[in-house]
Amino acid sequence: MLVLNATFEPINVCTVRRAAVLLLKEKAEVIEGGTSELRSELTSMVRPLVIRLLAFVKLPRDRHRRKITRRAVFARDDWTCQYCGTRTGLTVDHVIPRSKGGSSDWSNIVACCAPCNRRKGDRLPKQANMHPASVPGPPSPNVFIQVASPRIPVAWQRWLPDLRTSTAIPDAA
């Protein structure tokens, strides 16, 4: 379930169980619900798809500077090789090789297919005549939501405007 802050900013993804606990403790409200219900012996509630916290949670400003992972790099680059555009056999590539002084940060790492990675090898982009399709940089905070839930339900798209629709799936009932 997608969790929104009191200001309707997406902040997290949680399990259905956690969402139900927040709702029962009246710490959150359902913004968008599914077509099925959650039932117990004494009560039932709509299955939440998107919930909003009732109290504002202050988040660190640099929360998007999280640890670099392969999945986060792939999600930031829309699961596409930044050199040829293919979507299969992805690896990560240091645009400026580490042996040439390149760093291991968001501004120097891109998604790259294995053949392009081998072709570029230990050369600079100019030497290999291979330049990334987009300039690498820190991802938007929503990328980490996509990493937590690679298949984004349609109900979430309204709250995650900068994610591409290629990862959307119909709402689960």
**Least reliable range by pLDDT among 50-54, 79-83, 109-113, 164-168:** 164-168
> 47 — phi, psi (to 5°)?
-70, 115
Give the E-state strand segments of the chain in sequence order: 2-4, 10-13, 28-39, 44-53, 90-94, 109-113, 152-153, 168-169
Q: What is the pLDDT of residue 145?
A: 81
Higher pLDDT, 163 or 164: 163
Residue 53 has pLDDT above 90, yes or no: yes
Domain with CATH 1.10.30.50 in the chain: 70-128
For the CA atoms of 139, 145, 151, 157, the dihedral, rounded to the nearest 10 degrees, stands at -90
Tell me, what's the pLDDT at 92?
96
> 76-128: per-residue pLDDT in tens?
998 999 999 999 999 999 999 999 999 999 999 999 999 999 999 999 999 99
pLDDT the model gives residue 172: 47
Distance CA(11)–CA(144), nearest Å, equals 9
SS3 50: strand
- Mark 103-141 as b/e (b = at least 16 C-beta within 10 Å): eeebebbbbbbeebbeebeeeeeeeeebebeeebeebeb
pLDDT digits (tens, 9 = 90+) for 121-148: 999 999 999 999 999 998 877 777 877 7
Residues in the chain: 173
Q: What residue has token string 């050369």? A: 123
- 70-128 classified as CATH 3.40.50.300: no
